[in-house]
Amino acid sequence: MARFDHSVQQALARHSGVISRAELLAIGLSPSAVNRRVRSGELRVVLPGVYRPAVVPATPELRVRAVALRLGPACVIAGRWAAWWHGLIQAAAGPVSVVMPPGSWPSTHPTIAVARRTLVPADRTTIRGVPVTGRARTVLDCAGEFDAESIRDTALQRGTTIWSLDRALERYGPGRGAVAARRLVDQARPGGVSPPERDALHALLRAGPHSWTAGLRICIGPAEQYVLDLAIEGLRLAVEVDGWRVHSTAEAYHRDRARQNRLVEAGWTVLRLTPRQLRDDPDGEVAAILRVAAKLAADGVAAGRVKDGCR
């Protein structure tokens, strides 16, 4: 871009491929120079007043960044687009959903869906330079979506807790979508971060006599922390539910084996259960797990043992 190439490239790098008209003018281009580059195709319009170089592809990420640049720092990406930005879904489509403060500058562009409300700082975050709703708030905002349970479960698998969802619910208030949001959280409240884990937990509790804990956090040594899918802490018995989506990669395969070795070394008995096993023979799988629990109890494994805990 003539004499301003370096400055323009710096501005483009800050926004990962988009630049605003105001930035171009601040760099030193005249309005006619900007218009000339648009007419020549050197710059392509992404949104009114926001451009991309012709060599930069028009990707979904570029759309999000263009919306954030167009609407300014008061804009927070929300809904399915926030879920996609968090990595909770594979793709998002349609207008980019945003939250803007009441009374802020409106946008009537058809590719942007604006909701007017005030978000407290706890319900927003910044990821890769873009303001988005926090992960817990994003889960609640997607409660009415067809894949709401999958979005919630993926968030739980990535560290979102029921506690954080409850706090987000308190801030959510009684408005539109609150009933669906509370129902979505309540469905996961018994424990487990995926449908197979919840199915296994409920089956074990029904067959019981033991008390099982979902998502038990333990420490091995001074620094190693693990979260167990299902566990009886007093018996040091863990049941890991190996869903395909989470455990199918080579990295996950090796990580799971190393984790299991460390648990066994620390005195834990680790059993593995797949959704298919639970679906095909739930009674048989549960009975096998309970036999192991009964043997551990009979052998006195728990006698005199201090419960694991993070210190």
pLDDT in tens, 231-242: 999 999 999 987
Does 182 lie in the same domain as 199?
A: no
Q: What is the pLDDT of residue 249?
A: 59
Q: How far is CA 226 from CA 198, 215, 255, 263, 269, in A?
A: 19, 9, 12, 9, 14
What span, in angstroms and rounded, lies between the C-alpha atoms of 256 and 240? 10
Distance from the first to the final alpha carbon of the chain: 58
Does 73 lie in the same domain as 34?
A: no
Does 155 lie in the same domain as 71?
A: yes
Please check whether residue 175 lies inside any domain of the structure: yes
- Kindly report, residue by residue over 236-265, the tens digit of the pLDDT: 999 998 765 544 456 766 778 888 999 999
Among 38, 56, 74, where does a domain finish? 56
What span, in angstroms and rounded, lies between the C-alpha atoms of 242 and 186? 23
Query: Over the chain, what is the mean pLDDT?
Result: 86
- Whether the Cβ atoms of residue 191 and residue 201 lie closer than 8 Å to each other: yes
Does 160 lie in the same domain as 72?
A: yes
Please check whether residue 70 lies inside any domain of the structure: yes
What span, in angstroms and rounded, lies between the C-alpha atoms of 75 and 132? 8
For residue 224, the Cα-to-chain-centroid distance in whole angstroms is 23
Domain count, the chain: 3
CATH of the domain at 278: 3.40.960.10
Does 101 lie in the same domain as 213?
A: no
- Which letter does DSSP use for residue 49 in this model? T
Q: What is the pLDDT of residue 244?
A: 52
Q: Of 189, 207, 199, which Cα lies nearest the Cα of 289?
A: 207
CATH of the domain at 52: 1.10.10
What span, in angstroms and rounded, lies between the C-alpha atoms of 241 and 245? 11
Q: Of 230, 163, 167, which Cα lies nearest the Cα of 194?
A: 230
Q: What is the pLDDT of residue 296?
A: 92
pTM check: above 0.75: no
Please check whether residue 307 lies inside any domain of the structure: no
Does 78 lie in the same domain as 10?
A: no
What span, in angstroms and rounded, lies between the C-alpha atoms of 51 and 75? 18
- Whether the Cβ atoms of residue 25 and residue 4 lie closer than 8 Å to each other: no
Please check whether residue 304 lies inside any domain of the structure: no
Does 66 lie in the same domain as 49?
A: no
Does 67 lie in the same domain as 88?
A: yes
Packing angle of the helix pair 60-71, 79-86 (nearest 10 deg): 120
- Kindly report, residue by residue over 2-59, the tens digit of the pLDDT: 444 788 888 888 889 999 999 999 998 999 999 999 999 999 999 999 999 999 999 9
Q: What is the pLDDT of residue 158?
A: 80
Question: Six-digit token pair at 276?
Answer: 């298919």
Q: How far is CA 201 from CA 17, 237, 238, in A?
A: 47, 14, 12
Name residues of the chain where pLDDT drops below 70: 1-4, 106-107, 190-193, 243-250, 252-253, 301-311
* Segments forming the whole domain that contains residue 12: 2-56
- Coil/strand/helix, residue 10: helix
Please check whether residue 268 lies inside any domain of the structure: yes
Please check whether residue 303 lies inside any domain of the structure: no
Plot region of 300 (φ>0 → left; ψ -120 to 50 → alpha; else → beta): left
Please check whether residue 310 lies inside any domain of the structure: no
191 contacts: CB under 8 Å, gap ≥ 6:
197, 198, 201, 212, 213, 214, 215, 230
Among 188, 217, 240, where does a domain finish? 188
Among 188, 205, 240, where does a domain finish? 188
